[in-house]
Structure 1
């Protein structure tokens, strides 16, 4: 049993055309610290955490929980994709649905890695939990995240104000995605 449903975790690594999605390993610790301390990566997420705090708090094998995929390019971690169950602290439209989150190192931005990795994680979820709707929340000011949500087939459910900014909540209905696209390309 995992945070996102009755699936076996971790799954076998997922290979795409350029990336591998896998569970976290000890060798990823430095990249996780870099990611969590990055002002650029956290511009729309409330700001970075202090590096000294992260050095103290990040476990030897970070983010080792169900639904957390390390995104690897050429043997190096470049980001993290997370699928988790939205909780009662979420918007009413989101509660109980799977929620997609992602975070990439700034040096990996602008090359389509986010789209490729998130599409692969969603394809895995579609196989593991057929028919599972997925939500995504982002700030409307985060234009890159808004473009990624559209590419992945999320449609707007609502906009709301939280954390001193306008937020966007989108829904991806897997039955609609399967009917229109046949699923993401490049996932092996």
Structure 2
């Protein structure tokens, strides 16, 4: 997660999609966040799994409890996390705005892969962002993460550059405001 997003009136009412409810995280989501952090498959392109016990000691009671961060909920079941934050200054990637760019991130458990939940939740959060923040968004993922690169394209992100970061080639894209996917 990058720098916190400052948004008046956060949190919004839950965002509803065809199948999902996007809502702020609660303490009940903590175990799911710990599972995400410790899963080697989920973190293959994110530097590897983290030690679950260490994460349990350091993770807040309510994980990702800040503006721009939402849990994707399917019939009361955690199927992922989606968030907007400010890209940290000094990191590679050309910002489409003056100052830190708005950056989209998401993470889903393996059991939720292949069902369209990432696309659905990211599209809903981007639509909310278009209406309330009105600025372009960026997305950065490893080139080796073909599924994430493909999703970026389906969400309206266009590649603007590639660079080396965290020991891997990164794909960096920008999505203008108002792209409907």
**What residue is the counterpart of 1:164 in the other structure?**
167
SS in 2 for 1:87: coil
5+ unaligned residues in a row in structure 1: which ranges? 178-182
Shift of residue 90 of structure 1?
2.1
Distance 2:77 2:90 in 1: 34
Consecutive unaligned residues of structure 2, counting only runs of 5 or more, are none
Cα distance, 1:15 vs. partner? Answer: 0.6
Spell out, residue by residue over 1:88-133, the C-alpha distance to the aligned partner (whole angstroms, 9 max, x if none): 1322513521000000001000011000000000001011112x01
**8 Å CA contact retained: 2:14, 2:23:** yes
| CA separation of 1:165 and 1:92: change in aligned 2, threshold 3 A | closer
Tell me the TM-score normalized by structure 2: 0.92
State the match for 2:101 in structure 1. 97
- 1:5 offset after TM fit, Å? 4.2
> Aligned in 2, Cα 1:6/1:32: closer, same or farther, shift over 3 Å?
closer
Using the alignment, how far apart are the partners of 1:120 and 1:58 within structure 2? 27
State the Cα distance separating 1:153 from its structure 2 match: 0.4
Distance 1:89 1:73 in 2: 37
Distance in 1 between residues matched to 2:75 and 2:7, nearest whole Å: 31
**Quick check: 1:125 aligned with 2:126?**
no
- 1:174 and 2:177 matched: yes
Shift of 1:59: 1.8
For these two proteins, the number of residue pairs brought into alignment is 176
